[in-house]
Structure 1
Amino acid sequence: MTALAEAPTFHALEQRLALIACGENSRPGKTQACDVHRGKGPTMLRITSTGAVDALAAAICGSGHKHNRACAPCTDKAVKMIRVYNGETV
C-alpha cells in the first residue's frame, strides 16, 4: 500500500504565502519569511482567500505610496499568492 500525498496544512500554506510576500527570491536559498511577514500570515491568508488582489497587494506593500496604490512588485506577489492558494502551479 502506498502513502497518499498529503495536502499542505493550513500552517504550511500560511507560511508559504508569508514567504512570497516577504520576497522569496530576494536572496538565494531563502526558505522562511521574516518575523514581520510571518506575523502578517493570518491576515494575508484571510485576504488571499477572498481573491482580492488590490487589498492583498496593499497589505503586503503598506500605505506609503502615492495615490494609495500598491507597487507593481507587491501586486505581482499578491497575484502569485492567490494562484498558490487556489492550487495553481506557479
Structure 2
Amino acid sequence: MSTALVLAPKDTTALEAVVALIACGAREGKTAACRAHAAKGHGLLRIARTGALDALAAAICGAVRGGSCADCVAKAEQIHLAVEEEVR
C-alpha cells in the first residue's frame, strides 16, 4: 500500500474564462470570449503561469516574427495580474 499523497488537479475553468475574455478584448458589458479565444484559454493560462509576458503577448497577438502589438502586450500584462491575484 502506497502512502504517497495525491493532489487532485485544481479546476481552472473560471480562470481560463477570465484569461480568454481579457485576450478577446474585455470591455463593459462583454461577459464571455469568442469561441476562438475561449479555445485558447487553457494554453494562454499555462503560458501566463510561467511569467513570460513576451510569449503570452505573442500567443495573444498571433505574432510569429517582429513582436506583438501594444494592445496585446497590455492584454498580457492584465492577464498576468489576474493570474497573480488568483494565486494569492
Question: Which TM-score applies when normalising by structure 2?
Answer: 0.80
**What CA distance in whole angstroms lies between the structure 1 residues aligned with 2:20 and 2:66?**
22
**What CA distance in whole angstroms lies between the structure 1 residues aligned with 2:66 and 2:17?**
27
Confirm or deny that 1:79 pairs with 2:77: yes
The AA in structure 1 aligned to 2:15 is: L
- Unpaired segments ≥5 residues, structure 2: 1-10
Query: Offset at 1:23?
Result: 0.1
**What CA distance in whole angstroms lies between the structure 2 residues aligned with 1:42 and 1:68?**
25
Q: Which runs of 4+ in 1 moved over 3 A?
A: none
Match of 2:63? 63
Alpha-carbon displacement from aligned partner over 1:6-41 (angstroms, at most 9, x marks no partner): xxx51000000000000012xx41000000000101
Query: Offset at 1:68?
Result: 1.9
CA root-mean-square deviation = 1.5
Question: Which TM-score applies when normalising by structure 1?
Answer: 0.79
The AA in structure 2 aligned to 1:19 is: L
Q: Percent identity?
A: 50
Query: Offset at 1:63?
Result: 2.0
Match of 2:34? 34
Report how many aligned residue pairs link the two structures.
Answer: 76
**What CA distance in whole angstroms lies between the structure 2 residues aligned with 1:40 and 1:56?**
11
Match of 2:26? 24
Match of 1:48? 48
- Unpaired segments ≥5 residues, structure 1: 1-8
